[in-house]
C-alpha cells in the first residue's frame, strides 16, 4: 500500500483547493435528506463536524446546536474558517486521533463531502472506530463516500473509447501545455499530478484507490461499494444502519449514477 496521505493532506492546504471550498455554501438535497430526520434528536446536543473545509456546513449545523466543534487537518482551511466564524469552536485536528475528545462526548458526528475518502484503508477503519468512541450510546454518524459502481462504469467507458479519440484528446492537452508551459497552467498541473499519482492507484476486493480528476488529479481517493461500506460500519461497532442515500436524496443499495453516497449509522 503506497503512502499517499501526506500528498492528499498537502493538496487540502493548497491555495487553489482552499479557494474552491470557500465558494461553496449550503447543504445539498442529499445531505438534507439524510440530516432532516435526525434534527429533533440532535437539537441543542453536542455536535462534531469533521473535515469542515472552508466551513460550508458551519451555519447549518450551528443553527441546530451551538454546542458545536468543527475540525479539519488543513491549517489553511482552519485559518479561513476561524476568520469567517470567529465565535465558533474550530480546531486543527486529525480524525484519526481524537484523543482530545473524551469517550461519548458527542450526540452527532458529521464527516461530509467524502472527507473520509482522503485517508488510506487502515486509517479509514481507525477513523470509524474513533468516531464510534467519541459518540454517546445512541448517537448518530453521517458521512459520504465515493461509490465504486459509477467509477467502474466510467473506467470501462474510458477503456472502450476509440484510440483515435484518445490520441486527439492527448494531442489537444499537449497543445494547451505547450502554449503556456508554466505551473499556473491547469493542464501542466493536471499532467504533473497524473504522472505522480496514477501509478499509486490500487484495486482490492474491498475498495479502490483512484486518482480521479478532482482538484486537477492532485488526490488519491478511496472508492467503495455500499455493501462493503456497511460491513465496515458494523465491524466498527455501529448498528441501525439506514440505507445509503443517493444524489436525489433517495435510499439505494447501490447506484449506477450517483458518484458518492451518504450513510447514516448509530452507536
Ligand atoms: C472534500 S473536503 C470537504 C470540505 C467541507 N466538508 C465541505 O463539504 O465543503 C474534505 C475536507 O476533509 C478534510 N480532511 C480530510 N481528512 C481529514 C482528517 N483525517 N482529519 C480531519 N480533516 C480531514 C480536508 O482537509 C478537507 O477540508
pLDDT (tens digit per residue) in 124-175: 999 999 999 999 999 999 999 999 988 888 888 888 888 888 788 888 878 8
pLDDT tens digits, residue range 2-16? 688 888 999 999 999
- Is the residue at 160 inside a domain? no
Number of domains making up the chain: 1
- Is the residue at 188 inside a domain? no
Number of CB atoms found within 10 A of residue 136's CB: 15
Q: Does 263 contact ligand 1 (Cβ within 6 A)? A: no
Residue 120's H or E segment, with its range, is none
- Is the residue at 174 inside a domain? no
Q: Whole-angstrom Cα distance, residue 73 to residue 183?
A: 25
Residue 90's H or E segment, with its range, is strand 89-92
111: Cβ contacts below 8 Å, ≥ 6 apart: 50, 51, 95, 127, 131, 141, 142, 143, 144
pLDDT value at position 143?
A: 97
Q: Whole-angstrom Cα distance, residue 140 to residue 43?
A: 12
Q: Does 95 contact ligand 1 (Cβ within 6 A)? A: yes
- Is the residue at 261 inside a domain? yes
Sole residue written with cell 487540502: 12
- Is the residue at 136 inside a domain? yes
> Which residues span the domain enclosing 127?
5-149+218-266
Which residue did the predictor score with more confidence, 6 or 84? 84
Over range 177-195, report the average pLDDT. 85
pLDDT above 90: residue 215: yes
Q: Does 116 contact ligand 1 (Cβ within 6 A)? A: no
pLDDT value at position 254?
A: 67
Of 48, 68, 72, best ligand 1 pocket probe by most atoms within 8 Å of the beta carbon: 72
Domain harbouring 94, CATH code: 3.40.50.150
Q: Does 18 contact ligand 1 (Cβ within 6 A)? A: no
Contacts 24+ apart (CB under 8 A), 149-152: 149/225, 149/254, 149/255, 149/256, 150/255, 150/256, 150/257, 150/258, 150/259, 151/208, 151/210, 151/212, 151/223, 151/259, 152/208
Which residue did the predictor score with more confidence, 105 or 177? 105
Kindly state the cell numbers that stand for 70.
468543527
Kindly state the cell numbers that stand for 197.
499519482
Instruction: Give the number of residues written for the chain.
Output: 267
Band the pLDDT of 53: cuts 50, 70, 90: very high
Share of the chain above pLDDT 70, in %: 98
**Ligand 1, atom nearest to 53 Cα:** 27
The single-letter DSSP state of residue 95 is: T
Q: Does 217 contact ligand 1 (Cβ within 6 A)? A: no
167: Cβ contacts below 8 Å, ≥ 6 apart: none
- Is the residue at 37 inside a domain? yes
Asked if residue 21 lies in contact with residue 107, where contact means CB atoms within 8 angstroms, the answer is: no
pLDDT above 90: residue 65: yes
CA 28 to chain centre: 14
Distance 2 CA to ligand 1 centre (A): 21
Mean pLDDT of the chain: 93
pLDDT tens digits, residue range 97-125? 999 999 999 999 999 999 999 999 999 99
- Is the residue at 27 inside a domain? yes
Asked if residue 38 lies in contact with residue 266, where contact means CB atoms within 8 angstroms, the answer is: no
pLDDT above 60: residue 1: no
pLDDT value at position 250?
A: 85
Band the pLDDT of 19: cuts 50, 70, 90: very high
- Is the residue at 159 inside a domain? no
Over range 37-56, report the average pLDDT. 98
pLDDT value at position 219?
A: 95
pLDDT value at position 85?
A: 98
Amino acid at each position: 500500500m503506497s503512502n499517499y496521505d501526506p500528498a492528499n493532506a498537502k493538496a487540502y492546504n493548497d491555495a487553489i483547493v482552499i479557494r474552491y471550498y470557500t465558494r461553496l455554501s449550503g447543504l445539498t438535497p442529499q445531505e438534507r435528506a439524510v440530516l432532516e430526520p435526525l434534527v429533533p434528536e440532535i437539537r441543542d446536543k453536542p455536535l462534531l463536524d469533521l473535515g469542515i473545509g472552508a466551513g460550508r456546513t458551519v451555519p447549518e449545523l450551528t443553527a441546530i446546536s451551538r454546542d458545536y466543534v468543527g475540525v479539519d487537518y488543513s491549517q489553511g482551511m482552519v485559518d479561513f474558517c476561524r476568520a469567517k466564524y470567529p465565535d465558533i469552536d474550530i480546531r486543527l485536528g486529525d480524525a484519526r486521533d481524537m484523543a482530545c475528545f473524551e469517550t461519548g462526548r458527542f450526540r452527532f458526528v458529521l464527516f461530509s463531502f467524502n472527507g473520509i475518502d482522503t485517508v488510506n484503508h487502515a486509517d479509514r477503519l481507525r477513523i470509524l472506530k474513533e468516531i464510534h468512541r467519541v459518540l454517546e450510546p445512541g448517537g448518530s454518524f453521517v458521512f459520504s463516500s465515493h461509490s465504486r459502481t459509477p467509477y467502474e462504469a466510467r473506467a470501462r467507458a474510458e477503456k472502450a473509447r476509440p484510440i483515435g479519440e484518445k490520441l486527439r484528446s492527448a494531442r489537444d492537452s499537449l497543445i494547451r501545455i505547450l502554449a503556456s508551459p508554466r505551473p499556473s497552467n491547469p493542464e501542466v498541473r493536471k499532467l504533473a499530478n497524473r504522472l505522480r499519482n496514477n501509478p499509486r492507484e490500487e484495486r482490492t476486493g474491498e475498495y479502490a484507490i483512484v486518482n480521479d480528476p478532482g482538484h486537477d488529479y492532485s488526490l488519491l481517493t478511496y472508492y467503495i461499494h455500499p455493501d462493503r461500506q456497511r460491513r465496515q460500519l458494523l465491524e466498527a461497532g455501529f448498528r441501525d444502519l439506514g440505507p445509503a442515500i443517493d444524489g436525489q436524496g433517495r435510499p439505494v443499495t447501490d447506484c449506477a449514477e450517483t458518484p458518492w453516497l451518504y450513510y447514516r449509522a448509530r452507536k
